[in-house]
Amino acid sequence: MKNQRWFACLMLFAGASVIAQDAPSIVRNDCARCHGLDGIATKPAMPHLNGQLDSYLLAQMKKMQKGRLPTAVENHVPASLTESELAAIAQYYHAIKVTRPAQETNPDKVAQGEIIFRNRCNDCHGDNGREADKDAPLMAAQNLQHMIHQIDLFVSGKRKFGFLQDDAFKGLSRDELEAVAHFFASQDQIAPAAAAVGGGKKKRR
């Protein structure tokens, strides 16, 4: 048993070493401070990036670079970075397959959020947020504090709605939006094997 524990630890450190070696220098020197080398947020209101669609990550970084998506981080995406460098960052985080940490969620909010999700969000964030369509991001197991912070920005008008978000958010209170966030946060990022089998429209991953 002791040997098995040591082997598991060695494999964990080996995996972290491989991730670090593969990371672009901008990731190692800057991005990892808030998003980790493994894409798991290291600060409360930051998003997890591991496994996220590279096309979505690239689009968001380009918006930040042009000042169309303000953040609290000064010079978040420097203008000096080329599109190929941004694409390398996006592809790096997209390719990382690590498990996002479990989060504490409110069961009542999760149940309420699931109902809203089925009626409002499923078209763009299928399979409980594990799939995406219409340029939407993957949402399953996303950092709850990050999602709540973004809700506050949307509700206050400090962040503009993306494509189709306006219709999805219309008429929902902040508490209802927070319930959806709890639902997404409660999900596994990767579907359990038994639930992964099924039909339906194939969407981008």
Q: How far is CA 65 from CA 59, 70, 71, in A?
A: 10, 9, 11
Q: Are residues 113 and 172 in the same domain?
A: yes
Q: How many residues does the chain have?
A: 205
Q: Are residues 47 and 115 in the same domain?
A: no
Q: Are residues 148 and 182 in the same domain?
A: yes
Stated pTM of the model? 0.84
Q: Are residues 45 and 65 in the same domain?
A: yes
Q: Determine if residue 39 is left, alpha or beta; phi over 0 gives left, psi from -120 to 50 gives alpha, anything else beta.
A: left
Q: Are residues 88 and 133 in the same domain?
A: no
What does the pLDDT read at residue 143? 98
168 C-beta neighbours (distance < 10 Å), count: 22
Q: pLDDT higher for 74 or 48? A: 48
102 C-beta neighbours (distance < 10 Å), count: 10
CATH (domain of 170): 1.10.760.10
SS3 103: coil
Q: Are residues 177 and 113 in the same domain?
A: yes
Q: Are residues 111 and 171 in the same domain?
A: yes
Q: Is residue 205 part of a domain?
A: no
Q: Are residues 153 and 111 in the same domain?
A: yes
Q: Is residue 127 part of a domain?
A: yes
Q: Are residues 7 and 87 in the same domain?
A: yes
The predicted-structure confidence for 151-171, as pLDDT tens digits, reads as follows 999 999 888 877 678 788 889
Domain total for the chain?
2
User: What is the pLDDT averaged over residues 169-193?
Assistant: 94
Host domain of residue 112? 107-186
